[in-house]
Amino acid sequence: RGLLARIRQLDPQLNSFITVTEDLALEQAKAADARRAAGEEGALLGAPIAHKDLFCTEGVLTSCASKILDGFKAPYDATVVARLKAAGAVSLGKLNMDEFAMGSSNESSHYGAVKNPWALDRVPGGSSGGSAAAVAARLVPAATGTDTGGSIRQPAAFTNLTGIKPTYGRVSRWGMIAYASSLDQGGPLARTAEDCALMLGTIAGFDPKDSTSVDTPVDDYLTALAKPLAGLRIGLPKEYFGAGLDARIGAAVMAVVEELKKLGASVKEVSLPNMQHAIPAYYVIAPAEASSNLSRFDGVRFGYRCENPQNLEDLYKRSRAEGFGSEVKRRIMVGTYALSAGYYDAYYLKAQKIRRLIKNDFVAAFADVDVILGPTTPNPAWKLGEKNNDPVAQYLEDIYTITANLAGLPGLSMPAGFVDGLPVGVQLLAPYFQEARLLNVAHQYQ
């Protein structure tokens, strides 16, 4: 109840929620109280959370922050939502995001931009910007997000939070509206690694409804937190500290490294030579998959439909023209072009080959180190509107995060201090399915 009042009071300034589900939340809270009274225990029982608005929630608007899903109420809960519900977490509503998770600033939302609680004239990062702003402003202690190219880690960095993108296949994508299916992963944003461990432990694990979900046991993330760091081998990729990085962020990251050394870690330089090709490869693969995934929004089955269609083709055309925003249209066009017969080999296939090289770079680097550490972003949060008319400038901000998605690796961002009063993050990457290690390092540091 206190939080619902806080949302009513503070969120008009931030715009982090698209839908607040007051009545449902009070109902769920009551049910959680009853379960507790009946002797049930569990850290998430009665814990308030909120979901990024691309997780399907039964009977509640699921908009992907797009006009094209206007009025769409999902008929079922996503697996992530269902698992948190079963653990007794109380959802307060649905959070703002970039339209269809395309963006790094949360400015492409049909429901308007989200503001960074640390500086209201700055972006909160994206695409899980609503999740980040809501947790940072203490409207909810934890939220779900999704990360296709950095959308959990980058907003976490911009708002002084901890966020983890799990290994591809660790968290079910069932009921998560697809952007780029081979890159998308859901995960939590929260204040601490401990809260992330709790959330991730609940949502991770095999789901027969998602054919890319991996059937390996889930580690006990909470127990893993306590492990001392003595003997930990950290790799610093030289490509992460080169031109383009704000030197003050570099210094903040190195200060974290010094602390980790005091806790017993050793440090060594590693190299990821193909990193320079990551942005072009990502911005071919992600739009290609998006152009295919978004073809289902045709004005017939879900959400928005144009007025007075003349015939079926007119209905498709105008519903899509009126329903999608400009960044989404740009991606659909780029993706369709990259997949078209004459260009497939030149763009899509080439990008897939780069993807393999990037993965191989990581496998080679992890032969010598346990975790790879670097900055989460090259710059702190920029001003609202600053990069709106220059999509490529915004794409370049993803340089440190997208490689983990291309390789399918787990990645975590945790607070690394402030630059000019703006939060910045340090990113940790680990070999496949070693989320426990990432949470452990973050927890020991915190």
The catalytic residue positions are 52, 127, 151
Binding residue (CB under 6 A) for ligand GLN from 90, 286, 358, 442: 286
How many angstroms separate the CA atoms of 229 and 232, rounded? Answer: 5
Segment 178-197, which members bind ligand GLN (CB under 6 A)?
179
Nearest distance, CB of residue 222 and ligand GLN, angstroms: 27
Nearest distance, CB of residue 236 and ligand GLN, angstroms: 24
Instruction: Tell me whether residue 170 or residue 443 sits nearer to ligand GLN (CB atom).
Output: 170
What is the DSSP annotation of 276-331? GGHHHHHHHHHHHHHHHHGGG-SSSSSS---SS-SSHHHHHHHHHHHHS-HHHHHH
Nearest distance, CB of residue 152 and ligand GLN, angstroms: 7
Element holding 9 (H helix, E strand):
helix 2-14
How many angstroms separate the CA atoms of 139 and 136, rounded? Answer: 8
Q: Which stretch binds ligand GLN (CB under 6 A): 59-67, 141-149, 204-212, 292-300?
A: 141-149
Question: Applying CB under 6 A, what is the total number of residues that bind ligand GLN?
Answer: 13
Segment 367-386, which members bind ligand GLN (CB under 6 A)?
none
Instruction: Tell me whether residue 66 or residue 104 sits nearer to ligand GLN (CB atom).
Output: 104
Nearest distance, CB of residue 102 and ligand GLN, angstroms: 5
Instruction: Tell me whether residue 219 or residue 398 sits nearer to ligand GLN (CB atom).
Output: 398
What number of other Cβ atoms are within 10 A of residue 174's Cβ? 19
Residues 6+ apart with CB under 8 A from 128: 52, 95, 97, 101, 143, 145, 146, 147, 151, 152, 155, 163, 189
Determine how β-strand 266-270 pairs with β-strand 233-237. parallel
Binding residue (CB under 6 A) for ligand GLN from 53, 77, 289, 398: 398
Nearest distance, CB of residue 231 and ligand GLN, angstroms: 33
Exposed/middle/buried for residue 35 (C-beta within 10 Å: 0-12, 13-18, 19+): middle
Q: What are phi and psi of 229, to 5 degrees?
A: -90, 0
How many angstroms separate the CA atoms of 345 and 237, rounded? Answer: 31
Binding flag, residue 108, ligand GLN (CB under 6 A): no
Provide the mask over 63-102, with x wherever binding to ligand GLN is found by CB under 6 A and - wherever it is not: --------------------------------------xx
What number of other Cβ atoms are within 10 A of residue 294's Cβ? 25
Binding residue (CB under 6 A) for ligand GLN from 53, 77, 99, 147: 147
What is the DSSP annotation of 213-271? ---SPPP-HHHHTT---TT-EEEEEGGGGSTTS-HHHHHHHHHHHHHHHHTT-EEEEE-
Binding residue (CB under 6 A) for ligand GLN from 62, 148, 167, 319: 148
Q: With beta carbons less than 8 A apart as the criterion, state whether 137 and 115 touch.
A: no
How many angstroms separate the CA atoms of 61 and 74, rounded? Answer: 7
Binding residue (CB under 6 A) for ligand GLN from 144, 151, 413, 427: 151
Nearest distance, CB of residue 103 and ligand GLN, angstroms: 5
Provide the mask over 110-129, with x wherever binding to ligand GLN is found by CB under 6 A and - wherever it is not: -----------------x--
Binding residue (CB under 6 A) for ligand GLN from 130, 150, 375, 411: 150
Interaction site with ligand GLN (CB under 6 A): 101-104, 127, 147-151, 179, 286, 398
